[in-house]
Amino acid sequence: MSGTRRYFWLLLIFVALVQSAALFKMVYDKDRLLKDGREITMPVKPLDPRDLFRGDYVTLGYDITTLNKTNAPEGRLADVQTGSIAFVTLSPKPDGGWTVKELSTTYPKEVASGDVVLKGRVHNAWGGAGAYDKVLNMRYGIETYFVPEGTGRALESKVRDHKIDAIVAVGGDGTAALKGLIVDGERHVDPPLL
């Protein structure tokens, strides 16, 4: 075997190993987050009931999906733009659910013991340059939940009737993963791998 050919095969094996290691790390990180992340529950809102390529699913919205002057600190809305990363600090409401306490472009230096920080990406930002009329549409990676085929519409109707909460695992860096759902008070934890 010539040196060039041998080098080609060694390079090919190396690339395959690196790709396999990267895939393993992604699965491992998601598994660790689901097992070890802080668990919180959030009320959800329905958005879309069906994906033709992967079976039934429910697209979930949250009170923290759309941020504006009524539910976020006004001074911070102007700091973020479409496509940027934002950290949303949530405080528990006395009646359940969460309220936005802080919004920043970096992870907060101090977080109160009952609060939780979610790392999100600004999907859309519109409105004026100032914070007064700006609206942010956020994505946290917890917006889609796949369910057994044929059950998506029934699940969506329960979400529409406000009978479902999302179980979210949150890592120390703000990364979030959808762990399962609470449907009519019954816990369903069966997350997809990725």
Confidence at residue 45, expressed as pLDDT on a 0 to 100 scale:
74
pLDDT confidence bin for 89, thresholds 50/70/90: very high
Determine the distance from the C-alpha atom of residue 176 to the mean position of all C-alpha atoms in its chain, rounded to a whole number. Answer: 5
Distances (CA, A) of 140 to 3, 108, 128, 170: 49, 17, 24, 10
Q: pLDDT (tens digit, 9 = 90+) per residue, 41-52?
A: 888 875 655 544
pLDDT confidence bin for 165, thresholds 50/70/90: confident
How far is Cα 153 from Cα 164, in angstroms, rounded to an integer? 13
Residue 53 pLDDT > 50, yes or no? no
pLDDT confidence bin for 183, thresholds 50/70/90: confident
Question: Global pTM?
Answer: 0.77
